[in-house]
A and B are shown apart, each in its own frame.
Chain A
Amino acid sequence: MILCDTDRKILHRLQSNLPLESRPFLALSKELGIDEDTIIERIKYMIDNKFVRRLAPIINTQAMGREATLAAIKVPEDRIEEVSEIINEYTGVSHNYLRKGKNKEIPYNMWFTMSAKDDEELNSNLKEIEDRTGLVVRSLPTVKKFKIGVKFKIY
């Protein structure tokens, strides 16, 4: 299953905002020179085949009043599965990865992002993870944001 040129063209455009007018896909069809119904059909195809996760509003958790952080833990090799399961239970956890330093050793191996409705909930969740795992959780919240915009070159 691969994407055709039409799909790539649509996908590239869809990483930017969908027009806010009554017939957004008709507006796109004029921009891209692809028929309105074809655009809709190809988006459905790309979602059904999981090239696209979804076409939806991308929420800015902080602007919505939520608090978020990147957290890191040093998890012993034999407890990785157990600890990852505990962390993933929290609905505010959107990413959780095992990471390794390539050119240098680093003091933590599990990295996750967590958001919560406010600082209190965030800190109490992190504290709870510390209590449940007996491990230290380092919280690395954003001090300053220089870029956030996951837009990929589509070849």
Chain B
Amino acid sequence: MDDKNEDIDLKLIKYTQEGLPLTRTPYKDIGVAIGIPEEEVIQRLKNLLETGKIRRLAASIAHRKIGINANAMCVWKVPKERVDAVGKIMAKFEEVTHCYERPTYSDWAYNVFTMIHGYTDEECEAVIEAIKKQTGLNDYVVLYSEKEFKKVGVRI
């Protein structure tokens, strides 16, 4: 992609990142606002999705507001050679919304991070128990959020 192309993509993302126009023809209206035809807006969004620059064109839910009140960050100590297999098992759970391998430090041995969301703490705990059973892992810590200082979507 040349520079100009990327500039238009950036303009498109910046214009839409706070929310699409809620009209019958949102893509046409975006096009009018940033000066490109509707077809180009659609094509660019398709490309951005295909190249993974945007993950989804979708609703971000205020999960607490709809009753999904519990979240647990559960970190696991996983032997290096088992990380791939374990990561795949964890990712299969619907309640596991994020699953990453991360580095360790002298005071930090937990290398696999799972973010679990549920309607209740019990629901999160049940997922953790199921993961333990399916992976045979036993060294883990459940980190509950005591206070939220900031939570916003990523903006560019």
Contact = CB atoms under 8 A, between A and B. Distances in A.
Interface of A is mostly: mixed
A84 interface: yes
B122 interface: no
Residue of A21, A87, A99 ringed by the most chain B CB atoms within 10 A: A99
A73 to B, nearest CB: 12
A51 to B, nearest CB: 5
Contacts of A138: 105, 108
B136 to A, nearest CB: 17
B148 A97 contact: yes
A26 interface: yes
A60 B55 contact: yes
B53 A95 contact: no
Interface residues of A, number: 77
Contact of B59 (A54, A96, A108): A54
Question: Which interface class (under 10, 10 to 19, 20 to 34, 35 or more) fits B?
Answer: 35 or more
Contacts of B18: 54, 56
A84 B149 contact: yes
A127 B130 CA distance: 39
B149 A96 contact: yes
B87 A112 contact: no
B143 A106 contact: yes
B114 to A, nearest CB: 8
Contacts of B103: 140-141, 143
B100 A146 contact: yes
A149 B53 contact: no
B10 to A, nearest CB: 9
Nearest to A148: B98
Given A56-B16, A104-B141, 9 more contacts: A20-B42, A22-B38, A26-B24, A63-B52, A98-B145, A147-B87, A148-B97, A152-B68, A153-B94
